[in-house]
Structure 1
Amino acid sequence: MFTSPEPSRPRTKARRLITIAVLLVVVIAVVLLARHTTAPPSPSPAATPPGVAPSPTPTAPVDEATALATRPMLTLPPEAALPHELTTATAGPPITVPRPAPIADRVISDGFPATGEGALGWLTDFNETALRGGDPATYLRAYTESALPHAPSPQGSGPLALLTSFRENAGIRPGELKPGLTVTYEVTQGLIKGTADGDRFAVVCTLGQLSFDYQGQATSMGIGDCQALRWTGTAWRIASGARAAYAACAWPGSIESVRAGYRSLNRDGAR
């Protein structure tokens, strides 16, 4: 007896979409890390005439903030981002980050204190909000609202590249609502890479679980994000200047996340 394949098509499509998501996180992690950690070739030195001592190669001074932002993070294999066994080991005690009340007319809340923990709390709120729904248009709006003049382009952001590639491969346009598709990002770990300029500049990183659910088919992966932030006197903003080195992507709570320096986060009450 012939059975029509029609009923299986939605499930097959859902599985294909989830497979795309998993493959994309692996590919993008490799591409972004390679792009960031591969230095451009040094120019060949000019020939020095015989009997003349070679001049030292001039080097441009690098300020403390730029050095902090661009210092590479731990490189992990792509499969470290996929779900696997957790560990009881830690990279240190939990970090308590504030969680202020939302502010009207802003995508991302303000009211975080001028501390490293405040910067990490701000980035936590930024990423959870900007990645919710998996729409690049939402991320771009949040980034544009939150970036200072001459900040790095959002197009170089790892999370935005992931969302954009996911939608392109799934055939979903930015801003288009897809019935049955749910995307969430829940931050559970983070780290404060360091501060500079009298603590008015901070580089912080979040690590969370990015989850895709499409018509009952779900998958999750661990996505990290680092940003260089500047305290304006009233709020944290994405800093002008060099882009922060790309974050290590690991499954939250795994031994790889510990090796990368991520610590559990405690959410403080609303301010």
Structure 2
Amino acid sequence: MATHPPEERARARARLRLTTVVVVVIVVVGAAAAIVVARYVTTPRTAPAPPATSITSSATGAAGEENALAAQPMLQLPAQAAQPQAMTTTTAGPAITVPAPSSTAGRWIPGGFPGTAEGALGQLKALNETALTAADPQVYARGYRELAEPGAPDPGSTGLAALLRSMRSRAGLPATGSVAGLTATFQITHGQIKGTASGGRYAVVCVLGQFSVGVNGQAVAAGVGDCQAMRWNGTEWRIASGALAAAAPCAWPGSADAVKAGYRELN
């Protein structure tokens, strides 16, 4: 019977593992919406997400207003809404113009967005598109912490962190660290402003994009959303202290489901 040297057997095992990763990634990324929503949404809703609002003063104080806005549930969509599907010509409203960053030199995550809700949306977009390229919860956590103010929710409690952990666990990959042949991108094309509080210095914003994972040139994608509470500190937007924002609806960008959830195109 033919025998194979240890090096050849190791290479064969590596090829088999990468093939397994491709198959598992197809399943896991396709179920991304279910992973994120099931983890953080406890109260289903059937009505569309409310339009952006400004929360007024109440007896609970600023912190209570902010936390209530962050925790307000978003529309819950079925998992299949995240799968690639036909685009629609219907919109949830005019496109949102997101300002460009003014600070990129020497920075891993672009910054320098203006103190508007659209600026908060731009900062969240920059964070997620940068920090998810490794499909690594540890890399995402690093980017999150760079932008978080003291008292912000732990990055491990977010929906994107849960997605990355689940993907790696189901694929049998190390919990963190680079993996040969594994790539990821998060191309954000849509978003919404859930609301503002504290005179506009606090905003809950959501982004939606195609999260693509590839292994040795083979890639799959799903529509993934992310909402975060952001605070303007007078200079830049930071991930705010207080309550973690409720889970974002996950839908294929530009689809009827995405419109139903209130997502608008980003310019």
TM-score bracket, shorter-length normalisation: 0.7 to 0.9
1:256 aligns with 2:257: yes
Q: Distance in 2 between matches of 1:86 and 1:27?
A: 20
Q: Structure 1, residues 53-81: CA drift from partner, whole Å, max 9, x if none?
A: xxxxxxx9472211211111110001110
Q: Distance in 1 between matches of 2:133 and 2:175?
A: 13
* Aligned residue identity for 1:182: T
Q: Distance in 2 between matches of 1:213 and 1:186?
A: 14
Report the Cα offset of residue 175 of structure 1: 4.9
* Aligned residue identity for 1:82: Q
Residues 70, 246 of structure 2: 8 Å contact kept: yes
TM-score by length of 1: 0.81
Q: Distance in 1 between matches of 2:26 and 2:159?
A: 15
TM-score by length of 2: 0.82
Look up the match of 1:117: 118
Q: Distance in 1 between matches of 2:125 and 2:226?
A: 10
Q: Distance in 2 between matches of 1:15 and 1:99?
A: 39
* Aligned residue identity for 1:196: A
Q: Distance in 2 between matches of 1:159 and 1:232?
A: 24
Check 1:26–1:220 CA distance in 2 against 1; reply closer, same or farther (3 A cut). Answer: closer
* Aligned residue identity for 1:206: V
Look up the match of 1:231: 232
Root-mean-square deviation (Å): 2.5
Q: Give the number of the structure whose alpha-carbon radius of gyration is greater.
A: 1
* Aligned residue identity for 2:252: W
Q: Distance in 2 between matches of 1:82 and 1:12?
A: 27
Q: Distance in 1 between matches of 2:220 and 2:34?
A: 20
Check 1:215–1:34 CA distance in 2 against 1; reply closer, same or farther (3 A cut). Answer: closer
Residues 28, 161 of structure 1: 8 Å contact kept: no
Residues 98, 119 of structure 2: 8 Å contact kept: yes
Q: Structure 1, residues 6-38: CA drift from partner, whole Å, max 9, x if none?
A: 999888655532332343346564354344333
Look up the match of 2:191: 190
Look up the match of 1:20: 24
Identity %: 52
Report the Cα offset of residue 160 of structure 1: 1.1
* Aligned residue identity for 1:72: P
Mean alpha-carbon deviation: is it higher for 60-69 or for 154-163?
A: 60-69
Report the Cα offset of residue 134 of structure 1: 1.0
- Unmatched tracts of structure 1, length 5 or more: 1-5, 40-59, 267-271
Superposed, 1:126-145 pairs within 5 Å as 126-145=127-146
* Aligned residue identity for 2:226: D
Q: Structure 1, residues 83-120: CA drift from partner, whole Å, max 9, x if none?
A: 11111110011101012145345332221000011000
